[in-house]
Structure 1
Amino acid sequence: MAIAPITGMLRKRFWLDISTGLGLGLSAGAAFWYGYELKARAHQEAFYLKLEKEKLAAAQS
């Protein structure tokens, strides 16, 4: 039993669904990365930098 090829409206709808999904996925990923992840990493880096400075100060004392 052969499957009929995707033609006409279904093919147009398929490409619309794929492009919409990719566009929304990339937009959500960028919003997460720039809205949350970079701020969280900066906060984490500041914490570890402070911790390292405290360790160096304690070692010099």
Structure 2
Amino acid sequence: MSNIAPIVGRLRKGLVMDLSVATGLGMGMGYYFWYGYHVPAVRRRDAYYAKLEQQRAANAHA
């Protein structure tokens, strides 16, 4: 027998670790984008158009 350690479970453990880290980081960055950028941007846009609509309605009655 040689002194070289078998590689049997190392590939599977590495693959599971890589997939777990990639999934965790991907979901974390997705949540960061969604709630850190997208949702506030949509709220600002909706508030802008609501303000425009109120101004348009006010000008239509004047």
Q: Could you state the TM-score of these two structures normalised by the residue count of structure 1?
A: 0.82
Aligned residue-pair number: 55
Matches of 2:16 and 2:48 in 1, distance apart? 46
Q: Could you state the TM-score of these two structures normalised by the residue count of structure 2?
A: 0.81
Matches of 2:9 and 2:23 in 1, distance apart? 22
Identity over the aligned pairs, expressed in percent? 42
4+ long deviations beyond 2 Å:
none
Rg bigger for which structure? Answer: 2
Unaligned runs of 5+ in 2: 1-7
Measured on the aligned residues, the alpha-carbon RMSD in Å equals 1.0
Indicate yes or no: 2:39 matched with 1:38.
yes
Partner of residue 21, structure 1: 22
Unaligned runs of 5+ in 1: 1-6
